[in-house]
Structure 1
Amino acid sequence: MAKIYLVRHGQASFGAADYDQLSPLGTQQCELLGQHWRAMGLRFDAVWMGSLKRHRQSMEAIAAGLGGLPEATVRSGLNEYDPEALVRAAHAGPLPTGDSPEVQRQHFLHLRQGLLGWIKGEMAPAGLPSHADFLDGVMAALDEARQQPCAEHILVVSSGGPISNAVGHVLQAAPEGVVELNLRLRNSAVTELHSTPRRHAVISFNSLPHLDQPGRSHLQTYA
């Protein structure tokens, strides 16, 4: 039996020209996670991640806090969907720019609508695969990871979409439930799966053991 630790990347750069870049806070979140695991004596036998820049930066920050990690295997099936494609599928008009609270509120309102329509097969956002194909890519990467010999503890660094869809699939959640899982997932949060050659089982979801401490609540973020 393998234990898979799914980690959502640290805070990226919402509202910036390049979202795919960890903020200083995002780097700190991941370094603290690595430090937490080092204090626990946890070591990983294998590392898997998506190919996005924020995935590699998060993995490197975790490694810095932990004191090292094995060479990572990269799989595009662990990459995020394009949120802008979902937003534009739900809202055809011009969208506000920036990172104000109102801009974020509008973004996540349209993202929720787009996600639900995509998962249900009612929308076909430009440039995105079908949701079924997206989910197949996620689960194929996780299935490949759990089949590695002698890998008892596996780290997977990914994004909110792949992680929430994997959990929703394992739990057989309705589309509305998958959307809620997706939009509640916090930066650098840990989701744990116990995996056998036949199945995955969810042990925990969206936990922040490295930030659920006095004086660190301000380090918890969603976007």
Structure 2
Amino acid sequence: MSVLYLVRHGQASFGTDDYDRLSDLGKEQSRITGRFLAAQGIEPDRIVHGEMLRQRQTAEGLLEGMGLSMDAHVDSGWNEYAAWELTGVLDDVDPRAKHDSKIFQGELERGAARWASGEHDEDYRETYNQFTSRVDRALDDAVAAMGSGQSTIVVSSAGAIAWTASRLIGGDFDQWMAFNRVTINTGITKIITGQSGTSLISFNDHGHHDPKNATYR
């Protein structure tokens, strides 16, 4: 069997003028996760991340924590959806959403339901169906690139990881949103693949973090 580890990026910079960068805690979360993976005897053959800065910085922290030096592969298929675009087209958005993550989550879920309905596709640069299709392709490519017994670490974001997990258990939009809602920064989702197919083994494992340092944004 081959193993794919999906790692969500570390805590980013919510509430600032540039969300797409890790906070100091996010960088430390990445190093801690790398040390945890190394302690489990995991020696990846490849590491892949999306194009986003927070994803690249997390991959760098993982490698530092694991004590590895290797070139990462960039696959835009693992990019996150445009969350601010989903909320930006809504009427009467709560202005506190820019700085209050709980309020933002509620508005995001309202925007995601509108996005996924398919009734307003002209309002988005990427439709919900286009998003899920590109994540599907990224997963298929990551699996295809592994030889028997190899392992790959993929650094991505909550939406892409949640969709992958939902797809593998035959879930729909509601299942995706339920996973998306609880995905923790640098949580680890484990997938195995072999002759019997590709299967979800565990989702969002975050036992390597002190509970007080568990973050969602």
TM-score of the pair, normalised by structure 2: 0.92
Residue identity matched to 2:215: T
Separation in structure 2 between the aligned mates of residue 140 and residue 46 of structure 1, nearest angstrom: 17
CA deviations 1:100-153 (Å, max 9, x no partner) are xxx323211110111122223244373431211111111111111111253611
Partner residue in 1 for 2:50: 50
Q: Compared with structure 1, are the counterparts of its residues 121 and 79 closer, same or farther at alpha carbon in structure 2 (3 Å cutoff)? A: same
- 1:83 & 1:163 partners in 2: Cα distance? 15
Q: Which amino acid aligns with 2:42?
A: L
Rounded Cα–Cα distance in structure 2 between residues aligned with 1:195 and 1:123? 36
2:155 maps to a residue whose letter is V
Matched, 1:146 2:143: yes
**Judging changes above 3 Å, is the alpha-carbon distance between structure 1 residues 27 and 93 closer, same or farther for their aligned structure 2 residues?**
closer
Superposed displacement of residue 92, structure 1: 4.7
Q: Given that residues 89 and 124 in structure 1 are in contact (C-alpha distance below 8 angstroms), is that contact kept between their aligned partners in structure 2?
A: no
2:117 to 114, 120, 139: 120
Cα separation, partners in 2 of 1:58 and 1:39, compared to 1, 3 Å? same
Q: What's the offset of the Cα at 1:168?
A: 1.1
Amino acid at match of 1:89: V
**Structure 2 gaps, min length 5:** none
Match of 2:70 in 1: 70
RMSD: 1.9
Q: C-alpha offsets along residues 66-121 of structure 1, whole Å, 9 cap, x if unaligned? A: 0115321111110001111111233355733653xxx3232111101111222232
Instruction: Describe how 1:76-115 pairs up with structure 2 within 5 A.
Output: 76-93=76-93, 95-96=95-96, 99=99, 103-115=100-112
Per the alignment, residue 156 of structure 2 pairs with 158
Q: Count matched residues.
A: 216
2:59 corresponds to which residue? Answer: 59
CA distance in 2, matches of 1:40, 1:192: 13
Taking a change above 3 Å as real, the CA distance of residues 125 and 90 of structure 1, as seen in their structure-2 partners, is farther
Contact conserved, 2:94 with 2:103, CA < 8 A, in 1? Answer: no
- Cα displacement (A) at 1:183: 1.1
Using a 3 Å threshold, how does the CA distance of structure 1 residues 145 and 197 change in structure 2: closer, same or farther? Answer: farther
CA distance in 2, matches of 1:176, 1:122: 17
Aligned counterpart, 2:211? 217
Alpha-carbon contact 2:146-2:152 (below 8 Å) kept? no
1:37-59: CA deviation from partner (whole Å, max 9, x where unpaired) = 12222100111110100011000
Same amino acid, percent of matched pairs? 31
Deviation, 1:196, is 3.2
Secondary structure of the corresponding residue to residue 96 of structure 1: helix
Structure 2 CA distance for aligned equivalents of residues 156 and 125 of structure 1: 31
What is the alpha-carbon distance in structure 2 between the residues aligned to residue 98 and residue 111 of structure 1? 11
Q: How far apart are the structure 1 equivalents of 2:134 and 2:143?
A: 15
Select which of 141, 164, 167 maps to 2:165: 167
